Amino acid sequence: MNPINKINVPDKISAEMRDVLRVQYENAKPIAADADNSTIRQAYIEERKYWNEGGPEMFKTLHEKIATSHGDIETKIYYPQRETVATIFYLHGGGFIVGNLDTHDRIMRLLADYTGCAVIGVGYTLSPEAHFPQAIEEAVAVCRYFSQRAADYQLNMQSIGFAGDSAGAMLALATALWLRDREIDCGHVKGVLLYYGLYGLQDSASRRLYGGVWD
């Protein structure tokens, strides 16, 4: 990429993020190129433990299995320490092949605490076991389930949102569009919160400005 007029990203990394990079560098454990999915997933779980330390305490957290046409899906409901104003469905990242509700526990607690929303983590089936659009269909099924049982879970399903990081951001956006295009009413989608999502772009202004060997 052309280095002219680019932002010097390493110079702008915060002290907190430098600590993160240091910890990850010092604890890096190479994974064999021929490692199977189970090994890769376990390595990711271990790496994510650092990211889940600390964070806000929830008023309560519930674990629920939701029946879908693809089988039971694990969900985790986070209730912040105040009356909830809406419900956010969170789709975790991990390149579609790694990650679970535990690897993204802290970010969901933070989101609930910051927003005053109940946050529902969706433990969608990973690939390559799941084929497109299974993960999206599972997220839609979870949304419909809680929409129909909002009172049972003390959820405000009149106002909802979707959030996710990386592959999860793509799934969050895709789920919102799936509901819209098929006119499925799970509540009024007030917005989507997408962290460094994967949307199929080959190039973008932000990538040209910020991209580099650190990507």
Mean pLDDT, the chain, as a whole number? 92
Is residue 18 in some structural domain? yes
Is residue 1 in some structural domain? no
Is residue 87 in some structural domain? yes
Is residue 215 in some structural domain? no
Nearest to 41 by CA among 142, 123, 109: 123
Element (H, E) at 114: helix 105-115
Is residue 181 in some structural domain? yes
- β-pairing, 118-123 vs 71-79, is antiparallel
Is residue 133 in some structural domain? yes
Question: Lowest-confidence range among 27-36, 50-59, 102-111, 202-211?
Answer: 202-211
**Global pTM?**
0.91
Is residue 160 in some structural domain? yes
Tell me how many domains the chain contains. 1
Residue 78's CATH number: 3.40.50.1820
Nearest to 122 by CA among 106, 107, 100: 100
What number is the average pLDDT over the span 28-41?
Answer: 89
- pLDDT tens-digit readout, 93-117: 999 999 999 999 999 999 999 999 9
Domain that holds residue 200: 9-210
Percentage of the chain exceeding pLDDT 90: 73
Is residue 2 in some structural domain? no
User: How far is Cα 201 from Cα 197, in angstroms, rounded to an integer?
Assistant: 10
pLDDT band at 50 (very low <50, low <70, confident <90, very high): confident
